[in-house]
Structure 1
Amino acid sequence: MKLSINLAEIPEEGRTYLWDTQSGEANAVLADLIGKNTYSAEFTIRPLNSKDFEMSGKISTKIPDQCSRCGTDIQFPITEKYREILIPKQDQPRNSKYSKVNHISDLSGDETDFCEYEGQNFDMAEYLHEVIALATPYNPVCPKQDNPNCSIYTNPEPEQGFIYNEEMPAEKPESPFAALKNLKLN
């Protein structure tokens, strides 16, 4: 099983790959995220010049999880598209002109991302692992068709806010001056 791709072997017109559970290229790497679920990844890598490559593709799978609202075990579907420019790994000393703080505000939805590779090999299985991990929702919810009567939450629409209608007990606070009443002055 080949986990990394030798970029020196990519022809000028590019190469398309189809990795899935049957072919098994990334089974061991993805097992901690997807368990025994199947996956299908199709991607194309083509050279832009002698060192840089364009990679684009899509991965589809399911991850075992629990609904954050009702606790039901679910198989949450993940389908992610990606587009990256693969560049050789460069040393970036702290004070170099290429060093930059990575911050979420620097990202925009339409931009192509850059990914580094070492030597002539790119670890595609590890890349797919990260794509799935980043696509995993923080608070997954039951799809409507799987559990239309998710009993705990009152608003079944995942795109709207989640609210519990629980009233807080009304507790009358003690006066801040009550402690002064027991003070004795000499």
Structure 2
Amino acid sequence: MKIRLNEIPAEGRKYNFDRQTGELNASLSDVIGNRDYSVEFFISPIGNAYEMRGRLKTTVDEVCSRCGYEIELPIDRAISEILFEEDQEYRKQESASGNHSVDFLSDGPSMIPVRGNVLDPEEYTHEAIALSIPSYPTCKPNGECEHFDEVSQVIQRLEQESNLENEKKPVGHPAFSALQGLSLPSNDKDSKN
């Protein structure tokens, strides 16, 4: 499915996608499997660009980065984008300004280039879900782990067992243990002088 942006009326148009409507099911299967999802957004023209606002909700299967337990990670993301036509001609020169941080725009809408005034909601939603998954997911949304105490006890026990095994091991490299009983022959010339 493709959305032709130049066919959207001046008052805008609302779009809803979910598991029952099915338009995005195939494209989202590798990120969310058969889980339910809800994507709704409203697109309206603003000059020579388009504003897209809405909400994306689903869950993904992840592994907690602190305890290793499998978790269902909820995704609830606000959609706030400015869609603009991307020129085919790319800039062929170096940038006049350096690599400047633009932190003051972090809460505002993102800029999304489109080609031919066509938005692919499958591609957009797939990417939005993938970017919403944190690098280090945890059991609880505040970054804490509900199994942390249990895992800490297991780690302590394993460290103690490892320390006991290390104490029992002989000191030194095992390859040199064969040389322990050998002695160097004495040089008789040096002892006579």
**Residue from 49, 57, 61 that aligns with 2:54:** 57
Once residues 98 and 115 of structure 1 are traced to their aligned partners in structure 2, the CA distance between those partners, rounded to angstroms, is: 22
Percent identity between the two aligned chains? 38
SS in 1 for 2:151: coil
Deviations 1:68-114 (A, max 9, x none): 1222111110000121111111122231779986x8x4354212211
Shift of 1:148: 3.7
Larger Rg computed on CA atoms: 2
Q: Where does residue 183 of structure 1 map in the other structure?
A: none
**Residue from 127, 134, 138 that aligns with 2:135:** 138
Q: Where does residue 31 of structure 1 map in the other structure?
A: 29
Give 1 or 2: higher helix fraction: 2
Deviations 1:43-68 (A, max 9, x none): 0000112x311111110000011111
Q: Aligned Cα RMSD in Å?
A: 3.1
Structure 2, gaps ≥5 residues long: 164-193
1:61-80 superposed matches below 5 A:
61-80=58-77
Matched letter for residue 88 of structure 1: E
Once residues 91 and 97 of structure 2 are traced to their aligned partners in structure 1, the CA distance between those partners, rounded to angstroms, is: 7
Over 2 Å off, 4+ runs: 96-101, 105-109, 147-150, 164-167
Once residues 14 and 98 of structure 2 are traced to their aligned partners in structure 1, the CA distance between those partners, rounded to angstroms, is: 33
Structure 1, gaps ≥5 residues long: 155-163, 170-186
Q: Where does residue 114 of structure 1 map in the other structure?
A: 111
Matched letter for residue 102 of structure 2: D
Number of residue pairs aligned between Structure 1 and Structure 2? 156
Matched letter for residue 94 of structure 1: K
